[in-house]
Structure 1
Amino acid sequence: MTHAFTRGLILMVLCCLASVALAAESGEDKPAGSDWVSQAAQTCASCHGKKGVSQTENFPILAGQYQDYLLHSLKAYRDGERKNAIMSGQVQGMSDDQLKALARYYSRQESPLYTPTVE
């Protein structure tokens, strides 16, 4: 790995952990409202792109994914069933309601991977 990439990765991890700490400090264990989802989505955008449309192959596109799949994945990261230091740090301490709100948000975003058919 290049030094620039490594520094960037470390900076991103630190930013992610700081956002989790701030959310926990502000008592954001309550159900996720639209303001909370907007703030969380801004943090997610640093890797997954605006509205979940990643611009790099290193991070998956979240936009338009099935809500149940996203929720299952987020819970697996939070509960340690799925291993990724960045994602685990992001969702650690989030309630089921907050994870559900994030999954709902990203499932409702338009995906560049396919165009839904209208019947």
Structure 2
Amino acid sequence: MRRRLIALMLLLGLPLTALADGDAARGEQLSYTCTGCHGIPFYKNVYPTYTVPRLGGQNQEYIVAALKAYRSGERQHATMQAQANTLSDQDIEDIAAYFASLATLEGDAS
């Protein structure tokens, strides 16, 4: 049923965020470990060296997909896989809802 609803929404051009089930308040509580890296402005990962992406204001569906891909092993990053492996589907939805709710400001690295 959900797949049919998504297909209908896509055909009608409606945003998928209308299906979002995440609880942003709970996501804020769950995301305390995320901010250890993603909450530091211009933070660089040690190896391989790259700037850790900002999550504040990021697309909710993207965050959900990324965390599920880390959890399944489809995306490779040992720290992210370890974090994602501790999360339920609802945890992921809540964390994504929280970060998507944050406004991105110039220089914001949340």
Q: Please indicate, yes or no, whether the TM-score normalized by the shorter chain is above 0.5.
A: yes
Q: More helix per residue: 1 or 2?
A: 1
- 2:28, 2:98 → 1: CA distance? 9
Residue 90 of structure 1 aligns with an amino acid whose one-letter code is: Q
Task: Pick one of 88, 98, 104 that aligns with 1:111.
Answer: 104
Q: Which runs of 5+ in 1 are unaligned?
A: 1-30, 115-119
Cα distance in 1 between the residues matched to 2:89 and 2:33: 18
Give yes or no for the alignment of 1:43 onto 2:29.
no
Divergent runs of 4+, >6 A: none
Choose from 77, 82, 89 the match for 1:89. Answer: 82
- Residues 101 and 55 (structure 1), Cα distance of their counterparts in 2 relative to 1, 3 Å cut: same
- The Cα RMSD (Å) is 2.3
Shift of 1:34: 3.6
- TM normalised by structure 2 equals 0.62
Aligned residues: 79
1:56 partnered with 2:42: yes
Aligned to 1:104, the other structure's residue is in SS state helix
TM-score, with structure 1 as normaliser: 0.58
| 1:6-59 superposed Cα distances (whole Å, 9 cap, x missing partner) | xxxxxxxxxxxxxxxxxxxxxxxxx97845x3332211111011xxxx401521
- Confirm or deny that 1:70 pairs with 2:63: yes
Percent identity, aligned pairs only, is 34
